[in-house]
Amino acid sequence: MTGMKNIFYILLSVFLFTACSSDNDNGTETAFVDWNDPNDSHYSQYQGKYNPIAGEWQLYEQNGSEYSDFYVAKFSDSRTMSVSTVKPDDDEDLSYGSSAAYKINDKSLQISGLVYTYSISNGVLTLTYSGNVFKYKAYVSTKWEWDGDWNDPSDPHYAQYQGKYNPIIGVWDLTHIDGEPTLSTGVETFSDNFQWTDGRNTINTKYIINGTGIRMIDKNSIYKYKIEDNKTLILQLMLPNKGVPLTYKRVK
C-alpha cells in the first residue's frame, strides 16, 4: 500500500477512534459547531435532521489522482459513517464494517474527533483534511431489483410504450446452463399477449415485464433477463430462490 493510501485509511477509516483535538490561538480547545445540537441556533430550522451528505459515496479521486481500490463510505440518516472496502458480487449488497457517529454543519463534519471540511457540487462530495483532498461520487449499486410492470397505466414508462413493452416476444431454445453448453431441451415462447409457454407444458402463464425483469403472475416467480443483439436471451430466477443463468438462442 502506498504512503498516500496509508494516509487515507488513517484519516477516513471509521475504525480509528483516537481523538484529535483542535486548538485556537490561545491554546484552548475549540468546540465543534454541530447544527443538530439542540443548543445550536440552527436546530429549530432542521429539527436535528441536518445531514446533506447522507448516502453511499464511492471514492474515485485522491489528491488529484485516480483512486483505483474499492472504497465506499456510507453516511446514514442517523449520522453514522461506515465503510465498505470489498466490491460485492453482482446482485449482492455492500458489506459494511463498524460505524462511528459524526457531527455536521454546513461546512465541516467531525468523525472520531477528526474534523473535515466538505462540499457537494455537481454530484461530487469533496472531503478535505490536512491538505489531503478526497473526491467521491454517488455509489451505483449493482444489485438487481424488480422495477415494476412497465405496461401498467400507473407506471411512468406506460406513456412511452402504451402498454406494449414486450421485447422478449419470440421463441427461444436453451443452449447453456450456468454458462456451460447443454444438450437438455428447453423451448420458451413469449407471445404478444404476454403469455409464457414452454415445450414441456410445465409453464403456461401470463407475465408482466420491465426493462430487466419478468414475472409470472400466477406463480409469483420473478426472473432477471437480458437480451443481446436480439439473438440471445439470458434468464435467471431471482425470487423466490435465486437460480443459475439459463442462456437461449432465438429460434423465431
Q: What CATH number should be reported for the domain holding residue 18?
A: 2.40.128.280
pLDDT for residue 183 is more than 80: yes
Model-wide pTM > 0.75: no
Please give the Cα distance from 106 to 136 (Å, whole number).
Answer: 18
My answer on whether 85 and 40 are in the same domain is yes
Which pLDDT value is given to residue 20? 32
My answer on whether 17 and 59 are in the same domain is yes
My answer on whether 221 and 110 are in the same domain is no
State how many domains the chain has.
2
Q: How far does CA 12 lie from the centroid of its chain? A: 21
Minimum mean pLDDT range among 113-122, 123-132, 141-150? 141-150
- pLDDT tens, position by position, 186-201: 899 999 999 999 876 6
Residues pairing with 132 in the sheet: 129
Which pLDDT value is given to residue 92? 81
SS3 6: helix
pLDDT for residue 145 is more than 80: yes
- Mean pLDDT in residue range 227-233: 96
- Mean pLDDT in residue range 17-25: 36
pLDDT for residue 7 is more than 80: no
Query: What secondary structure letter does DSSP report for 168?
Result: T
Strands annotated E in 15-113:
55-62, 65-66, 72-75, 80-84, 99-104, 108-111
Q: What range does the domain containing 229 cover?
A: 158-250
C-alpha cell at 179: 454458462
Of the two residues 165 and 144, the one the predictor is more confident about is: 165
My answer on whether 12 and 78 are in the same domain is yes
